[in-house]
Amino acid sequence: MRLYRTDAGLWCGTQAEAKLAAKADGTRWGLVDVPTDKPGLLAWLNGNPLPGHAYEPHAAVAGTPDTPAAEPSTAPADRSPVDASYAAQSVAIDDAFAALPLSHRLTLAALALEDARSLSG
């Protein structure tokens, strides 16, 4: 799958979006070829973590001898704690959604409508 990313770290689905975003940021943009098969995608995601987003490895699942045990977390200690309140998370999601380009918001809205149609039977 071809995605485009600006030097400022914004991901775009089309060249046109990338050009506009890069022009607005005063940066450059480039093509990123992301694998679509599950093993390739997992390897790519594990090799390209998001800047500023630390994550902790999961513990091994019992009964799977080929899964190595998780190593102790090396996440930064100065990381702010996750706000567990539903209201704060909801507001953050709304803000993130509003910051998306219109084409991405429309895609997510269409997916939500399709989910609703499939659930209503």
Q: Is the pLDDT of residue 61 over 60?
A: no
pTM higher than 0.85: no
With bands split at pLDDT 50, 70 and 90, how would you rate the model's confidence at 82? low
pLDDT, mean over the chain: 74
Identify the domain containing residue 92 by its residue range.
84-121
In this structure, are 53 and 4 located in the same domain?
A: yes
Measured distance CA(68)–CA(56) in Å, rounded: 14
Helix (H, G, I), strand (E, B) or coil at 4: strand
Residue 96 lies in a domain: yes
In this structure, are 2 and 37 located in the same domain?
A: yes
Residue type (1 letter), 95: D
pLDDT single digits (tens) 11-60: 888 889 888 888 888 888 888 888 888 888 888 877 776 655 555 555 54
Answer for the pair 106, 97: CB distance below 8 angstroms, yes or no: no
Residue 8 lies in a domain: yes
The domain tally of the chain equals 2
39, 57, 75 — which closes off a domain? 57
According to the model, what pLDDT value does residue 79 have?
A: 46
In this structure, are 89 and 52 located in the same domain?
A: no
Of 64 and 101, the structure prediction assigns the larger pLDDT to 101
List C-alpha distances in Å: 67 to 57, 61, 63, 64, 72: 12, 7, 9, 6, 15
In this structure, are 5 and 53 located in the same domain?
A: yes
Q: Is the pLDDT of residue 118 over 60?
A: yes
